[in-house]
Structure 1
């Protein structure tokens, strides 16, 4: 593994993302995360998982530079479906997954965090989905998960304005469980993971299964529609302009085409 390291203490596993400076979710990073979770699922000693980022951020989002290597909207839609699949596996992982978020969880980074069962944040962390700044939309189930946590109106505000909220605000809106000073975050997260890891693996698995039992067919249809729109927007002139502007560090000029 180049970008994800695993450390184990008792029945807890600590997953650290190490891809400076922003822990961007490249294809390789997503593949490594999928591989690590696959291994931990079959590790009988691991009963709870902590996911966090090294450096300044939890994850500042997708690797936008990789977008320039995608050849078509169809390929872009497939990229979304692959990302959705990885995050669905994390959300349905039979062992509790806690995200410790410091610095920023933006775009794909927030989508990754939302797939975890519990989110602990630093008080000054920034959480948001800024994809509309690029003429795009979230593609890793962000449009489907965010309203489940904060409600439709607040989700609309976060999507339409692209403005992030703080860790304290995230707790207020139900997007995060607890906010701590950044220097205390990892210690608090590890303490929670160790506490959870003392529980029966059978009861933990059953609790996770029941928490997600209410997912409807509409949710699945929403994922499919999100991936299609993700690809369509990539093919649009606005989508290409947004990506180009981001990489060129300039303001995009959208025309509605």
Structure 2
């Protein structure tokens, strides 16, 4: 019997790992297998010094249509405890892992990003979308709320009133509206979405990795802090970076009017 195809593809291109959600027959709907595969790859990538950035995209015509209803329906039928333990928490662990990852993760949104797929986009650090991409907080249409962090991250991205409208109506929005709201960073022609995301990832991957990680951590931790606590977080991140070879090299190269040579330490 042939082995089942992996629900997640990986293709390392230089210092960038490209992860492809690969359940195209299900529009890359998220289930236990796909969440588990994504978490395993992120664990390996975090410890892999050669990989300095990640791009997540989808196979076929969707980025991800959301959580697989056939996966979570039995857990809901089993009651609140099972629904939370077997569905909500795995999804939240995945988006939290992505959001707090120490290397930049960029979504290359090649098509539909509905429900949990939209929540994955919300959790990534940056997002490049194809002109044909569409987004939706569609959970309300099947009687539930966003469960992978969408009720919390979306208002932080686009503001409370805009998020409430999208979550309570479930209406789809085109890439242009997603850009205007601040959900994504840029829109590119469909055929260029992966190439543009890769170019952005490669640009960031060329920066000193400890500095990148410190900046990501300070931004992530400071989002929900008071300004005074946030400034303290920034100070701690800076103190950790000052003694690194890359920080010293970057400043020296600027003074000496040459290109810095970052070694990653």
Question: Fold match, TM over 0.5?
Answer: yes
Aligned position for 1:203: 211
Aligned position for 2:30: 25
Which ranges of structure 1 fall in alignment gaps of 5 or more residues? 218-257
Deviation for aligned residue 1:25: 0.1
Aligned position for 2:186: 178
TM value normalised by structure 2: 0.80
Tell me: higher relative CO, structure 1 or 2? Use CA pairs within 8 A at least 6 residues apart: 1
Aligned position for 1:5: 9
- Structure 1: 4+ residue segments shifted above 6 A: none
1:135-150 to 2 correspondences below 5 Å? 135-150=143-158
CA distance in 1 between partners of 2:48 and 2:172 (Å) = 36
Q: Is the 8 A contact 1:120 1:177 kept in 2?
A: yes
Q: 2:176 aligns with which of 148, 168, 171?
A: 168
Q: Is the 8 A contact 1:5 1:15 kept in 2?
A: yes
Q: Is the 8 A contact 1:124 1:168 kept in 2?
A: no
Q: Is the 8 A contact 1:4 1:15 kept in 2?
A: yes
Deviation for aligned residue 1:215: 4.1
CA distance in 2 between partners of 1:50 and 1:128 (Å) = 21
Deviation for aligned residue 1:67: 2.3
Which ranges of structure 2 fall in alignment gaps of 5 or more residues? 226-265
CA distance in 1 between partners of 2:140 and 2:151 (Å) = 12
CA distance in 1 between partners of 2:40 and 2:160 (Å) = 33
Aligned position for 2:80: 73
> How well do the aligned residues superpose, as a CA RMSD in angstroms?
1.4
Aligned position for 1:156: 164
Deviation for aligned residue 1:72: 1.4
1:51-70 to 2 correspondences below 5 Å? 51-70=56-75
CA distance in 2 between partners of 1:101 and 1:215 (Å) = 24
Q: Is the 8 A contact 1:123 1:181 kept in 2?
A: yes
TM value normalised by structure 1: 0.82
- Higher Cα radius of gyration: 2
Secondary structure (helix, strand or coil) at the match of 2:135 reads strand
Deviation for aligned residue 1:184: 1.5
Aligned position for 1:246: none
Deviations 1:170-218 (A, max 9, x none): 111100000111111111111111111111111111010111122448x
Deviation for aligned residue 1:3: 0.8
CA distance in 2 between partners of 1:55 and 1:185 (Å) = 13
Aligned position for 1:47: 52
Q: Is the 8 A contact 1:103 1:122 kept in 2?
A: yes
